[in-house]
Amino acid sequence: MSNAIEIEAKALIGKKEYEKLVASFAGAVSYEQTNYYIDNDESLLKKEGISLRIRRKAGNLQMTLKTPLSQGLLEKNEDLSEKEFHEFENGTFPENDLKRFLTMLDIDPSSLKIITSLTTRRIDIKYHEGLLSIDENHYSGLTDYEVELEYNNERDAERLLVELLEEKGIKYTLSKKTKVSRALAAVGR
């Protein structure tokens, strides 16, 4: 299992602004990933400010649990096999450190299931010692566009992101709304 602290700034942009931003980083390679968002019937994780997902990317599967910190999120990751993924789809939570951690939080892993999914076409670019991600997201028949900057502190991440977008003449809305919250809202959760 790996642990990390995720600190990022995000902005929602329109399709034209997305295309303009992608064009300004010509030559950057895109890839696709699908996130399967997990909760129980009572939306317990959402109520606790916790997110749990399984990400499929480049043929690999990884389960990620994010819990809030005073600045950013504590992110715990666990690789999954195809067999574990299919067993989870059929109601069996994988035997791993995330299961033990959820149990410590008084969350019953057996009550958790996939609620919805979101597929992202992403471009990643190293930017000012951080990571800039330009995303086209598809979920529940919707499409949105987002740019994120992961950095070592929230204030500078936000400042650098605003500077970049203003420099490129791109209209934006800074956003605290995560992909998981948008995907779950689209299915009434």
Strand partners, 185: none
Tokens (6 digits) for 72: 């950013």
Angle, vertex CA 72, rays to CA 5 and CA 54, nearest 5: 65
Name the one residue in this structure whose structure tokens are 């819990």: 67
Q: Which helix (H) or strand (E) holds 154?
A: helix 154-167
| Euclidean distance between CA atoms 34 and 21, whole angstroms | 22
pLDDT string in tens for the chain (189-residue length): 665 566 789 999 999 999 999 999 988 889 999 999 999 999 999 999 899 999 999 999 999 998 887 766 788 999 999 999 999 999 999 999 999 999 998 999 999 999 999 999 999 999 998 999 999 999 999 999 999 999 988 899 999 999 999 999 998 888 888 898 899 899 988
Cite the beta strand spans of the chain per DSSP E: 2-6, 8-13, 30-39, 51-57, 60-68, 73-80, 113-127, 130-139, 142-150, 173-174
pLDDT of residue 119: 98
pLDDT of residue 6: 65
Q: Is 126 exposed, middle or buried (0-12, 13-18, 19+ CB in 10 A)?
A: exposed
Sign of the CA dihedral running 101, 105, 108, 112: negative
Ordered structural domains, the chain, with CATH? 2-186 (2.40.320.10)
pLDDT of residue 22: 94
